[in-house]
Amino acid sequence: MNNLSRRGFIEKGTIATAALGAFSNTLIAGNEMKSTVKVGIVGTGNRGTSHLTNLLTIPGAEIVAVCDLDRSKTEHAAGLCEKAGRSRPKIWCKDETTFREMLNEEKLDCVIIATYWDSHTPIASHAMKNGIYPGIEVPAALTVDHTWQLIEMSEKTGIPCMMLENWSFRQDNLALLNMKRLGMFGEIVHCHCAHSHDCIDHWFFDQKTGEQKWPAAYLLKYNRDQYPTHSVGPIISWMDINRGDIFTEIYSTASASKGINAYFKRKFGNDHPNANLNYQQGDIVTSVLKTKMGKTLVINYDLQLPRPYSNRWLLQGTLGVYDEEKGSLYLEDKSPEYHQWETWKPYEQKYNHKWWNADLSAQSHGGTDVVMLTQFIDAVKSKGPTPIDVYDSAVMTAIVELSGVSIEKNAPVPFPDFTKGKWETNKPYFAIDMV
């Protein structure tokens, strides 16, 4: 944990923070909007190809280069561009450093990074050095040290850096954000969220053979919240984190690891090589976070036990409560029945965010990916701030390592102020709509 103690979560003062001070709200005044931006993609596996497919539907996004270690994947990606009637992008496929050549030689405006988790920060940093906006798949970083590196590079170069956290752009979450900003829940006191998704048989391991996929290595090596960003993404804005408040500490605890071994014995038998491995990762990780202004947040990691999908978002304030899992809410003096739940959907329609002005349900992740990428591309076109900035990206991703440190110490650990004090004066800017 040397990187944590070395940083000490203190203001470093050596970085030109002014480069990003104005940048959070009005990056560069008077920029002329580009009609087309040149896009590169590093990582053309399942997620990178999904992003490519969505980008092909967004006006002004021109995919000019694709990069991967597997040539067949880059060929497939290039073929999708040609099928869509677009120019064939240049293929970059040699070794693990080839992304540098692509970013150095191609005149890109932005790059989508959909590679292995531990490679995200080096690729994004090199992009910013070259004046290229990085859009980084989740999580943007795996260590607090790498998280600081992203911030420092963004501040030094003045290039925005965005983690592509699509759940922040969900239609229901944005409608709730509108209601929160209208004061309908009063002062926010507490939130809960989770990523509850049985991923054993498709993300961590092959469903037919049980063979390990690359994320399984993290289950063997670490015990932490491996994937907090989908749950926490919307919460950042609901709780005004980095804009009026900050997290000050995190305390995490983990259950025993039972689910993975039970799955293999049930599905493949006791003799399967993975049935008796010692997985470090507990089945359920619960993290409790406190804020400077007295709010609390509970996060659950829940990816290894049989269950239907759920995010279990809850927002509770002095005037009411919203419960995503129930599909319900209660508003004091507004709900028709005293202390009785009412249905959420009519509120989602009434307070629908302007970004959801069309039926996108047939698109990937119900349209959230298209909404997110459209806003990212628009930011690149205008050379303006990205909808999720580097500081919010940092808060979400730091939970990965910090939760593991807390579990290991069985104690709360301090949460860094990535804004270096600017949270006190920063104003909300994400998805401003009705207020």
- What are the chain's domains? 34-167 (3.40.50.720), 168-360+384-424 (3.30.360.10)
Report the pLDDT value the prediction gives residue 255, as an integer from 0 to 100: 98
- Tell me: pLDDT of 13 over 70: no
* Sequence letter at residue 328: S
Report the pLDDT value the prediction gives residue 27, as an integer from 0 to 100: 42
Q: How far apart are CA 210 and CA 212, in angstroms?
A: 6
Cβ neighbours, 10 Å, residue 53: 17
Model confidence pLDDT, tens digit, residues 351-371? 999 999 988 888 889 899 999
Closest CA to 356 of 183, 178, 135, 165: 178
Torsion of the alpha carbons at 122, 125, 131 and 134, rounded to the nearest 10: 80
Report the pLDDT value the prediction gives residue 65, as an integer from 0 to 100: 98
Q: Model confidence at 31, in pLDDT bands (50, 70, 90)? A: low
Of the chain, the end-to-end C-alpha distance in Å amounts to 43
CA distances from 151 to 17, 30, 113 (A): 9, 25, 17
- Tell me: pLDDT of 50 over 90: yes
Contact by Cβ (8 Å): 411, 4: no
- Give every CB contact of residue 122 below 8 A, 6+ residues apart in sequence: none
pLDDT > 70 fraction of the chain, expressed in percent and rounded: 93
Report the pLDDT value the prediction gives residue 358, as an integer from 0 to 100: 86
Model confidence pLDDT, tens digit, residues 242-260? 999 999 999 999 999 999 9
Q: Model confidence at 30, in pLDDT bands (50, 70, 90)? A: low
* Strands 320-323 and 314-317, bridge-based pairing: antiparallel
- Tell me: pLDDT of 42 over 60: yes
Model confidence pLDDT, tens digit, residues 397-417? 999 999 999 999 999 999 999
Report the pLDDT value the prediction gives residue 186, as an integer from 0 to 100: 98
Q: Model confidence at 232, in pLDDT bands (50, 70, 90)? A: very high
